Structure formats: C-alpha cells, structure tokens
Amino acid sequence: MAVRKKDDEQLSMIDSFREFKDTKNIDRTTLVSVLEESFRNVLAKIYGSDENIDVIVNPDKGDFEIYRNRVVVENGEVEDDNKQICLSDAQKIEPDYEVGEEVSEPVDFAKFGRRAILTLRQTLASKILELEHDALFNKYKDRVGQIISAEVYQVWKREVLLVDDENNELILPKSEQIPADQYRKGET
C-alpha cells in the first residue's frame, strides 16, 4: 500500500510538469530552470539550504532526480547534518567511504509528503504566472500609443475587459475610453 502512495505522488509530480509544459507556451530551457528553482526553494525550506543539492530535471519525460552531497566526517563530529554525514551512516550507503570523501545520495522528494508537493506546485504555478505576465508586458510595452484591436469580453463600471487575438486578457480603464462610446460584449 505504501508503494502505491509513493507512485501516486510521483505520478502527481509528473502530471504537474506535463500540465505546465502543455498548457503554457514556455520554451524548454526556461521550463527546466523554473522547475529547478522551484525544487531548490522547497528543498531549502526543508534542509535549511540548497547549496549542496543537485537537481536534474527532464521535462520531456516529466521526471527528475535530486541528489544531496555531504562530506564524510568522523562518527560523532557532525556539525551540520545537511552538509556532513558521519562515517558509519556513509558506510551504510557504500562500505568503502572514507573520512573527507563526498557522498552523493539520491533524495526521494515524495517522502517529504503532500505538503512539500503542494508547495512545489504552488511555487511552480506562481513562477509560471510571473513568466506569463513578463511575456505579456514585453509584448505590449513597445506598442504604447498604437491602436490594438481586441474583442470586448466583459463590461464593468470602471473598466472593460478585452481579449486579444492570442486570448490574452487586457483591461481598458474608463480614463482611456472615448467618453461617448458604449461597449458591448462580443464587439471588436
């Protein structure tokens, strides 16, 4: 039963990647860096630091690998559990480790539980949203003063919500409208 839960959480993570890759028009390198940064943020909260963690993301397959690197120290001399591992624990991973060597061990992200996975999804969603806002801003920032045609989607008291040809939502404030014009849903 425990194995199935872990598999379900792993599938949930993979579905998250696919969802962001498919629904958002983001290039591969940006997606990889956003995923890595999101993992690092969550792992930094869990371990206190992410500087000794390697995150390898493969968005095509929808999978990832995380490794934590720690230095082997004598038994009982561990000062920072995140960056150091005692000799006896290191030898449980591989018997021929010696003091001073670096141990790179895989981190099972699913073992941190649903809260960490939800935090990752939220971090990822907010970073993707930030990218979308930046892309939309960059698209229109050089077009100040130009007329843009869009369809009226919704009319409110102080502003009109428009949708452009790429389904981006744009707001036309009352101060930018021609006073005598009336806008109706569906009009261009």
pLDDT for the residue 5: 46
Inter-residue contact 87 to 72 (CB < 8 Å)? yes
Q: Which residues make Cβ contacts (< 8 Å) with residue 175, sequence separation at least 6?
A: none
- More confident call, 159 vs 7: 159
Whether 143 has a pLDDT exceeding 60, the answer reads yes
- The pLDDT value recorded for residue 12 is 55
The pTM of the full predicted model, rounded to 2 decimals, is: 0.62
The whole-angstrom separation of Cα 64 and Cα 28 is 14
What's the CA angle centered on 131, arms 129 and 132, to 5 degrees? 65
Measured between alpha carbons, how far is 87 from 77 in angstroms, rounded to an integer? Answer: 10
List, for residues 103-113, the tens digit of each pLDDT value.
888 888 777 77
Residue 1 has pLDDT above 50, yes or no: no
Residue 175 DSSP one-character state: G
As a whole-number percent, the residues of the chain with pLDDT over 90 amount to 1
Among candidate residues 130, 137, 128, 184, the one with its CA nearest the CA of residue 161: 184
Confidence of residue 61 (pLDDT cuts 50, 70, 90): confident
Residue 58, token pair as written in the block? 């493969």
Strand pairing of 84-86 and 151-155?
A: unpaired
Torsion angle of C-alpha atoms 104, 110, 111, 114, degrees rounded to 10: 150
Q: What pLDDT sits at residue 15?
A: 63
Q: What confidence tens digit (pLDDT) does each residue in 20-47 have?
A: 655 556 667 777 788 888 888 888 888 8
